[in-house]
């Protein structure tokens, strides 16, 4: 590619990131879309129809505007899937815009998922009622991909995404989405059978079936459903027999053309002691992340939860709580329950000074960062992916970022060297130890680290680099 074209493409990418935000750009363009500029035509090649439809629906005006700004003419933007043209035109039709944070739908699930004119079916007798509903899920940049996949599974089970793995930290909405899929399926496809349980429940039922000699019944129960949903599959780690049984169940469901939806606290390849065949099977599914919610999303979650509890909170209090309770939705709800208790006891509106005292224990600055947060922050700082940190790559930038991440994990968590190695791609104890010693030696000598960036080579004293990263970690992902 000649230099002028490459420069224009870089400029288009930069403008897209500015227009839609770094999170959305990374989700939908960094790993999913390849851009090619030919005169006044911009080709966007995507891996499948779903990504193509989403980009067309949500980002086409931004693509057109970014390309127009760079080439100085009205562009023709074409979305291509596997080399075939998918959508084209200098003035594409925009079907809908995705706001920064929203509650999904105002209709009940039955109305939202049925064809026009159809009547909502009654819930089949004996079907369990789960708490999570897709309609009440607040969507923002950190979770919109996972939400889009969940809704696609409900609309077209077994077609849009045959198998799904949603991964992310605790309290970010994985269970809500899995339960929402089940409830949505009940309304949209009442004839289909689904089974929802946790990884622990699957393990316990399998052990009971083995002891009681009822494995045939166990297998018939789980392999005959149209959708098997298992929450927290990381519970299978270190359980060889359960992993083997689940893998056979997964294969049987796949062979019959049915669907599996799973959740985990980590990417499948980062779950320690999962068997290689099971990891390979999980990686063949649609693996989507959920990140901690940004400030706008946290505030909307608080506002809606407070309204449901009939707890009146001023905008000032909402802003304060959303800004300082930033790790996950469960902590947000815990802070809200505490505020509601204060309001009930005092029978007065919650003032800002009361809110400060009530949520003091939740304030992120007073909490140690988790290993996953450290890895995410370091990867972002060095402009590498977390997968690269966990890989065997010997690239100099990746190696430096990995060493910095391990040093900070060692300093700010109680993890042992073996635990750190398992968390970061099953690295050997000696590898982790040497990486930590490398950074510690630089700290002791007041040394500097050097790495290449898109803007050129950068050299920073290691103490200053670590201080900067630690300050950002301890502030937490406030998003403000």
Do residues 292 and 142 make contact, with C-beta atoms less than 8 angstroms apart? yes
Looking at residue 35, what is its pLDDT? 87
As assigned by CATH, the class of the 371-475 domain is mainly alpha
Cα(345)–Cα(446) distance, integer angstroms = 55
Angle at the Cα of 59 from the Cα atoms of 83 and 15, rounded to 5 degrees? 100
Inter-residue contact 320 to 355 (CB < 8 Å): yes
Residues of the chain with CATH 1.10.1750.10: 371-475
Find out whether 68 and 75 touch, Cβ atoms under 8 Å: yes
**In tens digits, what is the pLDDT along the chain, a chain of 480 residues?**
556 787 888 888 888 888 887 767 776 787 668 888 888 889 888 877 767 777 887 788 889 988 888 888 888 888 887 544 444 433 333 223 333 333 333 233 333 333 333 333 344 444 566 888 998 898 988 899 999 999 999 988 877 788 999 998 888 899 999 999 999 999 899 999 999 999 999 999 999 999 989 999 999 999 999 999 999 998 898 889 999 999 999 999 999 999 999 999 888 887 767 888 999 999 989 999 988 888 888 899 989 888 887 778 888 888 888 888 877 788 888 888 888 777 767 677 788 887 887 777 666 444 567 788 888 889 888 888 888 888 888 899 999 999 999 999 888 887 888 888 887 878 888 889 999 999 998 988 888 999 887 777 888 898 888 888 887 776 554 444
Locate CATH 1.10.8.60 in the chain. 295-366
The domain 3-87 is placed in CATH, from the list 3.30.70.3270, 3.30.300.180, 3.40.50.1100, 3.40.50.300, at: 3.30.300.180
The yes or no reply on domain 130-289 and CATH 3.40.50.300 is yes
Start-end ranges of CATH 3.30.300.180 in the chain? 3-87
Angle, CA 286 vertex, CA 159 and CA 61 arms, to 5°: 85
Beta-bridge mates of residue 457: 452
Q: Name the pairing type of β-strands 286-289 and 448-453.
A: unpaired
Q: Where do the CATH 3.40.50.300 domains begin and end in the chain?
A: 130-289
- Contacts with 214 (C-beta within 8 Å, 6 or more apart), sequence order: 208
pLDDT value for 401: 92
Neighbouring-strand partners of residue 198: 231
Which CATH code, of 1.10.10.10, 3.50.50.60, 1.10.10.60, 1.10.8.60, is assigned to 295-366?
Answer: 1.10.8.60
State the angle between helix axes of 240-255 and 199-212 in degrees (0 to 180), rounded to the nearest 10: 100
């Amino acid at each position: 590619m000649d230099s002028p074209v490459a420069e224009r493409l870089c400029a288009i990418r930069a403008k897209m990131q500015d227009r839609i935000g770094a999170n959305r750009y990374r989700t939908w363009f960094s790993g999913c879309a390849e851009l090619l500029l030919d005169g006044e035509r911009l080709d966007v090649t995507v891996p499948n129809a779903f990504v193509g439809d989403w980009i067309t629906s949500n980002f086409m005006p931004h693509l057109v505007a970014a390309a127009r700004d760079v080439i100085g003419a009205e562009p023709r933007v074409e979305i291509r899937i596997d080399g075939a043209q998918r959508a084209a035109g200098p003035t594409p039709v925009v079907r809908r815009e995705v706001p920064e944070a929203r509650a999904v739908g105002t209709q009940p699930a039955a109305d939202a998922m049925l064809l026009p004119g159809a009547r909502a079916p009654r819930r089949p007798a004996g079907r369990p009622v789960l708490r999570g509903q897709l309609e009440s899920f607040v969507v923002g940049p950190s979770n919109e991909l996972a939400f889009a996949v969940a809704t696609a599974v409900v609309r077209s089970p077994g077609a849009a995404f045959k198998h799904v793995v949603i991964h992310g930290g605790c309290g970010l909405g994985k269970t809500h989405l899995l339960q929402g899929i089940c409830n949505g399926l009940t309304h949209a496809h009442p004839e289909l059978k689904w089974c929802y349980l946790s990884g622990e429940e699957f393990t316990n039922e399998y052990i009971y079936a083995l002891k009681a000699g009822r494995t045939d019944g166990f297998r018939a129960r789980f392999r005959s459903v149209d959708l098997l949903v298992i929450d927290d599959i990381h519970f299978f780690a270190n359980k060889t027999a359960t992993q083997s049984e689940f893998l056979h169940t997964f294969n049987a469901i796949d062979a019959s053309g049915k669907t599996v939806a799973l959740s985990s606290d980590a990417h499948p390849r980062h779950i320690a002691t999962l068997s290689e065949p099971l990891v390979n099977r999980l990686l063949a599914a649609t693996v989507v992340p959920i990140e901690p919610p940004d400030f706008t999303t946290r505030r909307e979650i608080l506002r809606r939860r407070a309204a449901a509890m009939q707890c009146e909170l001023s905008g000032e209090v909402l802003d304060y709580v959303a800004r300082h309770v930033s790790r996950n939705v469960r902590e947000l709800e815990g802070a809200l329950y505490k505020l509601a208790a204060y309001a009930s006891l005092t029978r007065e509106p919650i003032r800002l000074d009361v809110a400060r005292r009530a949520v003091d224990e939740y304030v992120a600055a007073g909490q140690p960062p988790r290993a996953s947060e450290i890895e995410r922050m370091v990867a972002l700082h060095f402009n590498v992916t977390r997968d690269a940190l966990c890989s065997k790559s010997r690239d100099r930038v990746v190696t430096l970022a990995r060493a910095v991440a391990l040093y900070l994990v060692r300093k700010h968590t109680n993890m042992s060297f073996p635990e750190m190695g398992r968390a970061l791609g099953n690295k050997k104890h000696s590898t982790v130890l040497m990486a930590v010693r490398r950074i510690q030696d630089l700290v002791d000598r007041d040394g500097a680290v050097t790495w290449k960036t898109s803007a050129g080579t950068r050299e920073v004293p290691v103490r200053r680099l670590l201080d900067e990263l630690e300050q950002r970690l301890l502030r937490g992902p406030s998003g403000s």
